[in-house]
Amino acid sequence: MFLERNNQGRRRGWVEVICGSMFSGKTEELIRRMKRAEFARQKVEIFKPSIDRRYYEQDVVSHEGTTIRSTPVTASSEILLLATDVEVVGIDEAQFFDEELVNVCNQLANNGIRVIAAGLDMDFTGKPFGVMPGLLAIAEYVTKVHAICMECGELATYSHRTSASKDLVLLGETDHYLPLCRTCFNQAREEKE
């Protein structure tokens, strides 16, 4: 994608959302798009929720180990304060942000900024996760990525929690989650209950 300009010569902004289950490559795709923008000499800034400290406090890191420097924030409103003089804003783990993130993304896009947000579309119970439905509704571009089901090898769209915790937010990797297809997810949920 390239920077579009309207008939008054102002940059056109838009919102892109990358969504899917755990281990589907959401962050890898976000990093790929941000690095391409950097390669094109666009001014970029990437943000993540400050609660995500799984790998590094400052960097966004994919499960594959690809990294990009980011700014951790505690509230989505901070993004507006920090995203000055940029052309592309990346947001990782969007599902962990507050409901104001939808308005923040709209405001950035209305100001001519390309916004790329990545996050889980469903929580571990298979329900829409946090602010993600709102982001999907306002996005001009949506990419749903898939993992591989760890039970049967089909495409996985669900993040099955293997630990006993009932907390909505439980940061983890393969120690707490498995990607599963719909059939295997439903079967695993039945067995757990």
CATH number for 28:
3.40.50.300
pTM to 2 decimal places: 0.86
Q: Which residues are catalytically annotated? A: 93
Distance of CA 23 to the CA centre of its chain: 12
Rg over alpha carbons for the chain, rounded to the nearest Å, is: 17
Domain housing 17? 4-145
Indicate if the alpha-carbon torsion angle 91, 52, 70, 67 is positive or negative: negative
Q: Is residue 190 part of a domain?
A: no
Q: Which amino acid is at 15?
A: V
Asked if residues 142 and 136 have their Cβ atoms less than 8 Å apart, the reply is: yes
Asked if residues 117 and 108 have their Cβ atoms less than 8 Å apart, the reply is: no
How much is the average pLDDT of 101-107? 98
Q: Is residue 80 part of a domain?
A: yes
Question: Mind listing the pLDDT tens digit for each residue in 17-58?
Answer: 999 999 999 999 999 999 999 999 999 999 998 876 555 566
Q: Is residue 178 part of a domain?
A: no
Q: Is residue 117 part of a domain?
A: yes
> Looking at the 3D structure of the chain, how many domains does it have?
1
Q: Is residue 180 part of a domain?
A: no
